[in-house]
Amino acid sequence: MEVILKEKDAADWVYRGEGAANLVLAYVGSSPAFIGKVMRVHKSPRNGSEGIKSPSSLTAHERLLWKDVDELISSSNNEIAGQHFVQHVMKPLLGSKYVDAGMRVLVSREFLESIGKNVICQRPTWRVDTAQVDAHCDSVLLLSDHSIFPHGSPQANVCISVEIKPKCGFLPLSRFISERTAVKRRITRVQMHQALKLHQGEISELSEYNPLDLFSGSKERLHKAIKDLFTSPQNNFRVFLNGSLIFGALGGGATNTNFLIAQAFEDALKPVIQAGDGLRTENLLNLVATGLHKSGVLDRLLEVQKLDNDDIEGAIHAYYDITSQKCMVCTELSEEQAKRHASIHSASLDDSLKMVRDYLIAATAKDCSLMICFRPRDQGDSGSVNNNVHLESTRQTFDFKVYFIDLDLKRLNKMEEYYELDKKIITLLSLCSLKTVLSVELLCSRCSQKVMKLIATIEGITSIVLDQAKNTVTVIGEADPVRIINRVRKFRKSAKIVSIGPPKEEKKDAIPIPQTLRLCQRCDVWYVIAEDGYNYCSIL
């Protein structure tokens, strides 16, 4: 860490994006030491405690948890601990070929303060209100920019990269999941969390993305997952051309892809995808699916995610044992329910440590991102040190590389947060029936009948009310809202989910479906017989 970045150097770093804990900045200067690099800058809460630094090292319980990783437990601060976690825990699990632990670089306080001022206008407002650059840090993490290929400047070669947040790729089978929370065995965590976000107003529409498709091992389902991410990117899908963002949002959730966004993206792909108008986006999505399938990185990631054998419903009990606290979860359970977790509380300390350690490693794997970067190979180039994939439809061959990023160390005190979030999601989806309100164009009686038939076949529905005057459908039951909207869109592609939440007492005088058959033009089918096909008899 001999290099020290000072205030004058801040102008060479531009905003690339951010997560909950860090800002990411890309280098645009001319120094060979930093070309092709990005920087992660730690953030601190904007809560009035500006001068208070976070703990300088791991807690005593965390040092016990990671006792087998000497470099981690001897770290002098959180940032260095995070780097050692990536280097000595995640890198061996995910493969050294796909993980970059980076290096620490010394910075001055003036450099960090200047960075904070320079990027504030580019950051999402809600991010600015929540956190600021932590000017008390004395170093930042320097990493390779995995949105471009190494060697030389970003402009040396045309390249396109896609950043994906895969999320949890399996349905849990833990024996500690109770009957009350069994919905977790049927609906993916992403889909459940989407319902909560929609209910809380954090998103306006549900994403159709299903991680089970991405991790299925089937190239067709993988391709479907990529298309769904493109349609509803939120904060899970971004695309960069030569290191510059051309699709998705910096630091926040992107809106669903409409015609204008899709057209602008199609035009932006001209330098890299050699296809006609209207075909470039589909070819890129196919390229991403093919590259991910060939790389095998999703299998590696899924294996690490599955270290979570016990779900938070089991791991939280081990957490209280490690911290020598009274188990607050058991105090909420009946005596019969508490017996289910007796085996955890009677386990050895080493077994409890392993359970929590595996859960936290899996949490990192469920929350990380992967970056897949493509560079068209020049004609006549016969070899490359990188993997390559051939796009038959455009007759192009691409070198590609894949890296995992955002492999953050999950702190021990987050266990209670994970449990509370799990409870909140389950409360919405399982403890009561769910009320899903759809906006559907209901132009006539037959429209209503078709929508009713499509929804009625879904298991777990107790009530369907159609309001033709308002073009709404209200569904009550335990059925997955994503499944409901997907079924309705077979008839009306424009259908949208308006709200999801616990049902209130419904009025008994709900408007019934009209019985008089009045047909709209879409449903009213006319049969026309061509004039030359009409045979008639004549006596003349």
Distances, alpha carbon 129 to alpha carbons 45, 97, 115, 122, 308, in Å = 9, 38, 17, 13, 34
Identify the band that residue 49 occupies on the pLDDT scale cut at 50, 70 and 90.
Answer: very low
Identify the band that residue 380 occupies on the pLDDT scale cut at 50, 70 and 90.
Answer: low
Per-residue pLDDT, 152: 45
Per-residue pLDDT, 507: 47
Q: What is the pLDDT of residues 349-358, one digit of tens each?
A: 999 999 999 9
User: Any residues with CB less than 8 A from the CB of 385 and at least 6 apart, and which?
Assistant: none
* Percent of the chain residues topping a pLDDT of 90: 56
Q: Which of 72-81, 326-335, 526-535 has the lowest mean pLDDT?
A: 526-535
Identify the band that residue 524 occupies on the pLDDT scale cut at 50, 70 and 90.
Answer: low
CB-CB contact of 34 with 12 (8 Å): yes
Q: What is the pLDDT of residues 92-140, one digit of tens each?
A: 999 999 999 999 999 999 999 999 999 999 898 888 998 999 998 889 9
* pLDDT higher than threshold 50 for residue 376: yes
Per-residue pLDDT, 258: 92
Per-residue pLDDT, 170: 97
Q: How far apart are CA 41 and CA 109, in angstroms?
A: 12
Q: How far apart are CA 243 and CA 16, in angstroms?
A: 9
481-520 burial, b for 16+ CB within 10 Å, e for fewer? bbebbbbbbeebeebbbeebbebeeeeeeeeeeeeeeeee
Q: State the CB neighbour count (10 A cutoff) for residue 343.
A: 13
Per-residue pLDDT, 535: 44
* Of the candidates 448, 453, 450, the residue with the CA atom closest to the CA atom of residue 515: 448
Q: How far apart are CA 256 and CA 232, in angstroms?
A: 5
Residue 396: in which H helix or E strand, if any?
strand 396-405
Identify the band that residue 481 occupies on the pLDDT scale cut at 50, 70 and 90.
Answer: confident
* Tokens found for residue 351: 């077994």
* Position with higher pLDDT, 28 vs 430: 28
Distances, alpha carbon 532 to alpha carbons 100, 500, 539, in Å = 73, 55, 19
Per-residue pLDDT, 132: 93
CA dihedral 437, 441, 443, 445 (to 10 degrees): -40
* pLDDT higher than threshold 70 for residue 517: no
> How do beta strands 434-439 and 461-467 pair?
unpaired
Cα angle 409, 11, 35 (rounded to 5 degrees) comes to 65
Q: Count the residues in the chain.
A: 540
Estimate the crossing angle of helix 481-488 against helix 445-456, to 10 degrees.
Answer: 140
- What is the mean predicted confidence (pLDDT) over 239-266? 89
Average pLDDT in the chain: 86
- The pTM (predicted TM-score) of the whole model is 0.80
Give every strand in the sheet of 369-376, ordered side by side. 244-247, 237-241, 160-164, 369-376, 396-405, 387-391
Give every strand in the sheet of 472-477, ordered side by side. 461-467, 472-477, 434-439, 496-501
Residue found by looking up tokens 């991410």 in the block: 229
* pLDDT higher than threshold 70 for residue 52: no
- What is the mean predicted confidence (pLDDT) over 260-281? 95
Per-residue pLDDT, 511: 41
Q: How far apart are CA 115 and CA 22, in angstroms?
A: 13
